[in-house]
């Protein structure tokens, strides 16, 4: 069975991509269950929550399996993903790429599982990503407080995509998209994902909203901001110029 993981930095259209990919009848989506307050979580942060938020981890596991978790992320992931009844199981978790500890746990599971592990990353122009995250989400809890400051948030952004570019050899297959390309050529880009996965062409397309390109130029937080060489290099490898 193929387990497909949608990955990326926050505010990089991971949710839009997840909604489109799960619109295929061959794809079964594993959501994130409910937060303690009862609000739905659309990200299955299985490999991140296990030691950072044990109560949320247990709620996530019970949501999918009905009983308590073992406390071993590899064993628990196998129990959850064993419930997949379609050719492709789909998981979205930005923290897999954004958290070094979650990434290592994920790789440990990938080395032990009999499932095929497929990685689908998505990137957005980095300064637009950082601007949107800083404005909307940076104050929310994340295991890396560097995202609270633009100067160091770019380090997290660079590390995130470097994992996808340079540390994905353990996966059966890995692919990445750019938000701008999907918005400009949605059917072509999404059908390419179907071809890559080896499933029938999509017959249903979820509309993608245009992103605010260049929004960082009017963001006061970027006054005096200078991208670091590492950020420029990762951006270049993703097809962006900073």
User: Which has the closest alpha carbon to 161: 146, 148, 178, 143?
Assistant: 178
Q: Identify the pLDDT of residue 38.
A: 79
Contact 126, 184 (CB under 8 A): no
Which pLDDT value is given to residue 142? 73
DSSP character for 3? E
Q: What is the DSSP string of 136-196?
A: HTTTS--S-GGGGSHHHHHHHHHHHHHHHHHS-TTSSEEEEEEHHHHHHSHHHHHHHHHHH
Residues of the chain with pLDDT under 70: 139, 141
**What are the residues facing 173 on neighbouring strands?**
118
Residue matched to tokens 């949320």: 56
When computed from its CA atoms, the radius of gyration of the chain, rounded to whole angstroms, is 18
Q: Which pLDDT belongs to residue 141?
A: 63
């Amino acid at each position: 069975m193929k387990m497909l993981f949608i990955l990326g930095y926050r505010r990089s259209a991971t949710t839009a991509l997840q909604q489109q990919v799960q619109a295929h009848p061959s794809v079964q989506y594993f959501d994130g269950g409910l937060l303690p307050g009862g609000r739905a979580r659309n990200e299955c942060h299985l490999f991140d929550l296990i030691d950072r938020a044990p109560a949320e981890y247990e709620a996530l596991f019970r949501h999918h399996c009905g009983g308590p978790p073992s406390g071993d992320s590899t064993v628990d992931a196998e129990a959850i993903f064993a419930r997949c009844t379609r050719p492709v199981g789909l998981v979205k978790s930005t923290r897999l790429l954004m958290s070094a500890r979650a990434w290592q746990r994920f790789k440990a599971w990938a080395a032990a599982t009999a499932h095929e592990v497929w990685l689908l990353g998505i990137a957005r122009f980095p300064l637009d990503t950082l601007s949107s995250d800083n404005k909307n989400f940076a104050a929310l809890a994340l295991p890396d407080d560097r995202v609270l400051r633009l100067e160091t948030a770019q380090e997290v952004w660079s590390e995130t995509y470097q994992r996808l570019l340079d540390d994905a050899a353990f996966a059966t297959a890995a692919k990445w998209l750019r938000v701008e390309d999907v918005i400009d050529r949605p059917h072509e880009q999404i059908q390419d994902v179907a071809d890559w996965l080896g499933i029938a062409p999509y017959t249903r397309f979820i509309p993608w909203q245009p992103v605010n390109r260049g929004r960082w130029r009017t963001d006061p937080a970027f006054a005096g901001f200078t991208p670091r060489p590492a950020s420029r290099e990762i951006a270049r490898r993703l097809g962006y110029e900073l």
